[in-house]
Amino acid sequence: MTDSNSATVSPQQEPEAGRAELRRAAFLKAARDVFLEFGYEQANMAEIVRRAGGSLSTLYAQFGGKKGLFEAMIDSRVEMVTQQMQAELATHAPLRQGLQRIGQHFLTLHASPQSIDVFRLMVSQAKKFPDMAEAWNKRATEGVRKALATYLEDRAKAGEIRISNYEIAASVFLDLVRARIQFRALGVPSYTASEQDIREAVDRAVKVFTGGIEALN
């Protein structure tokens, strides 16, 4: 017997939804590659479709245009970067262990050659396209900072740390984690951080942060 109040799902709906997600992911990957290769201004929607497959009409229906596609690309990256933060929050992980895992996930992504190229693109395009730079700052920088701030607030409520401003504390930790390796990678294109480089950088950042952050209160 079927519950008359339950929604009926067509057998085609789930596969179609899956195909739509795959198509969206393909568009976002192609968009990232095209933006990096040509810059924001010269990025061509038709070229993105050529690389991803599908059609221009589908691309515009999903993203509304180049700006919407660029913002969706940012949101997709934020989701990747904040996965570990959300995982540590969900399990109420102890501060040091949680920050170590968060930091390693964060720095592994930020130190990758592709991420370094994205950072270079944003810096080079910021003056000419301030709206794009603002979108990146608001959606990416603030999104990641707020996700970490939520975890730090959870740890403060557990009595592990005293912090008066969770977002400033989050910014301090993220800067401690990425600064040395990110700047080296930007200045030395041949440099790629090893797993040991990342682990040691995060370990130092966790020790400095947990040992000194309360001094900012």
Mean pLDDT of 97-106: 96
1: number of Cβ within 10 Å: 3
Task: Decide if 120 contacts 131 (C-beta within 8 A).
Answer: no
| Residue 200 in this model has a pLDDT that exceeds 80 | yes
Class assignment of domain 72-212?
Answer: mainly alpha
Q: At a CB cut-off of 8 Å and minimum separation 6, what does 1 contact?
A: none
Domain boundaries, the chain: 11-64, 72-212
Class assignment of domain 11-64?
Answer: mainly alpha
Its pTM stands at: 0.81
**Which position has the higher pLDDT, 182 or 137?**
182
37-77 confidence digits (pLDDT tens): 888 888 899 999 999 988 999 999 999 988 899 889 888 88
The rounded mean pLDDT for the chain is 87
Integer CA distances (angstroms), 155 to 3, 91, 95, 104, 203, in order: 44, 11, 6, 19, 18
b/e map of 95-113 (b: 16 or more CB within 10 Å)?
beebbbbbbbbbbbbbbee
142-167 confidence digits (pLDDT tens): 889 999 999 999 999 999 999 989 99
DSSP characters for 9-43? Answer: --TTHHHHHHHHHHHHHHHHHHHHHHHHHHHHHH-
